[in-house]
């Protein structure tokens, strides 16, 4: 099958859950013998070449900064990408049997929908997140917010085969007026499905990993870790990632006088994070907004429990079975988060055992292969839609 994957980012040139999903998806499709083209914005130097084994990577727009200084998405790159997708599909759309697009940043999806009647490909759309009207207003203000919400609603009503990665966002998508059904994919994990045996860890290390944007609330993680250290002797925290909040994280560490126990090394190789998760007492996510929460699964693969924070936009809580593979802090209060880190420490090896068992029970469902089978089936279903 000839498939076109559409997303304006490409891992590892930019890092995030959606980036990893689309690279893994494209690579696995190619490995199964499908002809795969990945169209994106250029995020590499002109004299360099983006390489995804077995996949044809095409840039349909120039290299541009995706984020403003405050960590929010700029409007020009989505417009440029949408125009590039439109031009590419007008010229080459007929060669594809399926176009698989991210919903965000919307203009590329609208472009693919506009060309679909001419090119007659199946349109498959992933909705990692569906934002509420209140979040749109918070993100873009009283004028831009309603416009963003309207564009999202228009995209939801485009004829498509829709996927979400959580019940939270599937419910929101239905409420937006989606035409047809939505399938919830449970699997984004591309690592080994063999559960690691539960083992004792030598220290009391806590790992935070993510893009350091305001929604991830990394400075809050610093405060919570400092509070937890009052109850956990030898607690150490590692905050991995880069972004506009990195300086705020460093300032929070310095203000707490915690330079010897907390570190923020910035962007590091995935192998280093994987190793840190395997050696950690727990994984901490203070994010207020997640479409899935892959880091919870990656931690559990090592038998490492997680602490996440409840919130109306945080679907990562769906991956936590309370007291089995971690805990959900009921709010974003640093003392509440710290108390849950302490709960992990007090639960000790028994919680690591139950986390490893949780992963063993759910590994197949949470695997990329599970989702890939569903996606491939949808390409044929979309043809009949």
Please state which of the ranges 69-73, 206-210, 347-351 shows the lowest mean pLDDT. 69-73
- Mean pLDDT in residue range 338-362: 97
Average pLDDT, the chain: 93
Q: What is the pLDDT of residue 47?
A: 83
Q: What is the pLDDT of residue 378?
A: 87
* pLDDT tens profile 301-319: 999 999 999 999 999 999 9
In the predicted structure, residue 63 carries a pLDDT above the cut 70:
yes
Q: What is the pLDDT of residue 307?
A: 98
Sequence ranges of the chain with CATH classification 3.40.50.2000: 2-190+367-384, 204-366
- Mean pLDDT in residue range 186-204: 87
In the predicted structure, residue 278 carries a pLDDT above the cut 80:
yes
- At the top level of CATH, which class does the domain 204-366 belong to? alpha beta
Which comes out higher in pLDDT, residue 81 or 65? 81
In the predicted structure, residue 175 carries a pLDDT above the cut 70:
yes
Give dist(CA 241, CA 212) in Å, integer: 6
Q: What tokens were used for 308? A: 């996440």
- Mean pLDDT in residue range 179-201: 88
In the predicted structure, residue 195 carries a pLDDT above the cut 80:
no
Provide CB contacts within 8 A for 80, sequence distance 6+: 41, 61, 62, 64
Dihedral angle sign, alpha carbons of residues 167, 305, 265, 14: negative
Domain 2-190+367-384 has CATH 3.40.50.2000: yes
In the predicted structure, residue 384 carries a pLDDT above the cut 50:
no
**Where residue 381 falls among pLDDT bands split at 50, 70, 90?**
low
Bridge partners of 239, per DSSP, are 208
At 164 the three-state DSSP class reads strand
**In sequence order, what DSSP letters do the residues of 263-320 get, joined into one string?**
EEEES--HHHHHHHHHH-SEEE---SEESS-HHHHHHHTTT--EEEE--TEEGGGGG-
* pLDDT tens profile 89-110: 999 999 999 999 999 999 999 9
């Amino acid at each position: 099958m000839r498939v076109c994957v559409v997303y304006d980012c490409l891992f590892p040139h930019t890092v995030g859950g959606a980036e990893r999903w689309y690279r893994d998806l494209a690579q696995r499709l190619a490995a199964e013998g499908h002809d795969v083209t990945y169209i994106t914005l250029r995020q590499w130097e002109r004299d360099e070449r983006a390489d995804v084994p077995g996949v044809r990577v095409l840039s349909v727009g120039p290299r541009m900064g995706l984020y403003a200084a405050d960590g929010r998405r700029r409007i020009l790159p989505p417009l440029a990408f949408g125009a590039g997708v439109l031009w590419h599909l007008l010229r080459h759309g007929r060669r594809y049997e399926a176009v698989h697009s991210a919903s965000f940043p919307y203009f590329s999806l609208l472009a693919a929908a506009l060309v679909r009647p001419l090119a007659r490909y199946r349109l498959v759309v992933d909705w990692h997140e569906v934002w509420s009207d209140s979040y749109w207003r918070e993100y873009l203000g009283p004028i831009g917010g309603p416009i963003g919400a309207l564009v999202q609603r228009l995209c939801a009503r485009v004829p498509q085969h829709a996927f979400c990665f959580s019940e939270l966002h599937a419910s929101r998508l239905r409420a937006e007026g989606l035409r047809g059904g939505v399938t919830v994919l449970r699997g984004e994990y591309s690592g080994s499905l063999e559960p690691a045996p539960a083992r004792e860890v030598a220290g009391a290390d806590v790992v935070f990993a993510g893009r350091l944007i305001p929604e991830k609330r990394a400075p809050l993680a610093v405060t919570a870790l400092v509070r937890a250290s009052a109850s956990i002797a030898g607690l150490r925290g590692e905050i991995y990632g880069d972004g506009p909040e990195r300086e705020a994280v460093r300032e929070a560490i310095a203000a707490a006088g915690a330079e010897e126990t907390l570190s923020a090394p910035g962007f590091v190789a995935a192998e280093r994070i994987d190793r840190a998760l395997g050696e950690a007492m727990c994984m901490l996510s203070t994010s207020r907004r997640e479409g899935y929460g892959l880091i919870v699964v990656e931690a559990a693969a090592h038998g490492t429990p997680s602490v996440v924070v409840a919130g109306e936009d945080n679907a990562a809580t769906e991956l936590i079975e309370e007291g089995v593979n971690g805990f959900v802090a009921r709010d974003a209060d640093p003392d509440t988060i710290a108390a849950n880190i302490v709960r992990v420490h007090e639960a000790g090896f028994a919680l690591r055992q139950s986390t490893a068992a949780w992963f063993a029970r759910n590994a197949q469902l949470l695997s990329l292969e599970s989702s890939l089978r569903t996606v491939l089936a949808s390409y044929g279903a979309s043809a009949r839609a």
